[in-house]
Structure 1
Amino acid sequence: MTVEIKSKIVGYRIKQKEQPAAVPELQEENPLTVRIPSRPEGTLEAVSEKISYVGAEGRKKVYLLVSFMPVEGVLGGKRVVIERPVEFFFPSGQLSSEHQWITATMRSLSLAARGGYVTQAVADLRKVAWDKGLVRCGMNQWNKPMFHDSEVAAIAWSIQQILYRRGFLDADGNQVAVETLVERYAHRMTHGYAWHPPEEASETAQAEPTVTVTSAKKPKGEGPAVVGHCPECRGELIMMDGCPTCYAGCGWSKCG
């Protein structure tokens, strides 16, 4: 294209080739602490579990529902995705306690999950105690019964176990590193199934010595007095809150 110049030339410069616009770097955003304003519409993946425990009022079985969803974030300048719990649901009418307090606790726990601090919230619930004696729920790594300070603490421990089996917490209820969560979610998306805890016993459990019991009776002064044998597992019965209760771990109680 020819351009006619009708005025005096006083200077010139060579036009530089235009550089492509720089791509802005993504701002770091930890997917563990990203706040989720509310429960998203539609269907969420969930785990439904029946929890069994024995307390002052005998054996109880309750149901708990925990919902999960993928959450995006930015780590090291790259977009990543992890899975987080976002909702806890405990159907009312399962316990003799006031239903409003159960509902309030589950709502608060759901808010903590969407706010990014559910690990601390569940750990705090495990510290709740009451005056009705210990509550037996679950087994430890040595396959021995676990005792908790209240029903709330027992249910909180059960929640930790759900999150552990889902890969969100470790075996002690501590938060798994976000990098590990990213790897586990990517593994699930690639292979079509979720990460599962290893079945191998821990070093501590492997080092635990095996004890052989040679007598059905306990030495005098060691442990609670035996008042009979369990009709279900033939284990020893002890008096717990005035009621013969199985000490071996099956949970049978004469009072129900």
Structure 2
Amino acid sequence: NAEGTGMVDRAIEFFMPVGQSGESQQWVTSSMRLLSLAARGGFLERALSDMRKVAWDRGPVRLGTHQKDDGTQVPKWHDSEVAAIAYAIQNILARRARQQAPAPVQEAALGDSALAARPPVMAGKKCPECGAHAMIRKDGCDYCTQCGHMGTCG
């Protein structure tokens, strides 16, 4: 590490405050225990990446924001609660790493009022950039009505 103590600061245990007696929340406890094992085994990044690929049939889950090229923030959508939790953990770990880095990193922030002022999102295919199911065909090109991402044309 930077202090030269020979110790590496990394996550080794994960907890989420939910009641363990409820049947509907057992998967959360199990997932946190598995992430703890992955962290101790040195493959946490891969485990979190795999969790981000989990999908369910209840529709997308909104968590976090995605920064467009022009600096504006749009909501980020995930395919399941599992994917959203993995995204949140990845962000916590990244923020912690930035705090320990020598050069400070500034984060752009956009208020909730600016997000609320956005036009309504049209339903469509999943956007590869922001994750919203908002890809439509516009003027012969794939276009995300959530973040403005332009996909393939023709």
Q: Same fold by TM-score, threshold 0.5 exceeded?
A: yes
Specify whether residues 167 and 92 from structure 1 end up closer, same or farther in structure 2 by C-alpha distance, changes over 3 A only.
same
Selected match of 2:61 from 135, 146, 149: 135
Q: TM-score, normalised by structure 1?
A: 0.36
Q: What does residue 39 of structure 2 align with?
A: 113
> Which structure 2 residue ranges, 5 or more long, are not aligned?
109-117, 124-145, 147-154
Q: Which amino acid aligns with 1:88?
A: F
Aligned counterparts, 1:15-54, within 5 A:
none
| Alignment CA distance shift 1:92-1:200 (3 Å) | closer
Aligned partner of residue 14 in structure 2, secondary structure:
strand
Query: What amino acid is the match of 1:101?
Result: W
- CA shift, 1:197, in A, is 5.5
2:96 pairs, out of 142, 166, 189, with 166
**Which whole-Å CA distance do the structure 2 matches of 1:200 and 1:151 have between them?**
25
DSSP 3-state at the match of 1:140:
strand
- Once residues 154 and 165 of structure 1 are traced to their aligned partners in structure 2, the CA distance between those partners, rounded to angstroms, is 16
Q: CA deviation at 1:91?
A: 1.5
Q: Which has the higher helix share?
A: 2
Compute the displacement of 1:99 (Å): 2.7
Counterpart Cα distance in 1 of 2:95 and 2:104: 6
Query: For 1:157 and 1:217, how far apart are their aligned partners in 2?
Result: 25
Query: TM-score of the superposition, structure 2-length normalised?
Result: 0.58
Give the residue type in structure 1 aligned to 2:80.
S
Aligned-residue offset at 1:126: 0.5
Matched, 1:150 2:80: yes
SS at match of 1:98: helix
- Identical aligned pairs, as a percentage? 49
Tell me, in whole angstroms, the C-alpha distance in 1 between the residues paired with 2:105 and 2:26.
38
Which structure has more strand as a fraction of its residues? 1
**Superposition CA RMSD, Å:** 3.4
Secondary structure of the residue aligned to 2:37 is helix
Measured in 2, the distance between the counterparts of 1:147 and 1:123 equals 15
State the Cα distance separating 1:156 from its structure 2 match. Answer: 0.6
Aligned residue number for residue 198 of structure 1: 105
Partner amino acid, structure 2, of 1:146: K
Q: Distance in 1 between matches of 2:81 and 2:67?
A: 21
| One-letter identity of the residue aligned with 2:86 | A
In structure 1, give the amino acid aligned to 2:38.
A
Over 3 Å counting, the alpha-carbon distance change for 1:80 and 1:217 in structure 2 is closer
Distance 1:100 1:223, change over 3 A: closer
Query: Using a 3 Å threshold, how does the CA distance of structure 1 residues 97 and 152 change in structure 2: closer, same or farther?
Result: farther
**Do the aligned residues in 2 keep the contact of 1:164 with 1:197 (CA within 8 Å)?**
no
Work out whether residues 167 and 197 of structure 1, in 8 Å CA contact, stay in contact via their aligned partners in 2.
no
Deviations 1:9-31 (A, max 9, x none): xxxxxxxxxxxxxxxxxxxxxx9
Counterpart-to-counterpart distance in 2, 1:123 and 1:83 = 20
Secondary structure at the counterpart of residue 161 of structure 1 = helix
Show structure 1 runs of 5+ residues with no match. Answer: 1-30, 32-77, 169-192, 202-215, 225-247, 249-256
Q: How is 1:27-106 mapped onto 2 (pairs within 5 angstroms)?
A: 80-93=6-19, 98-106=24-32
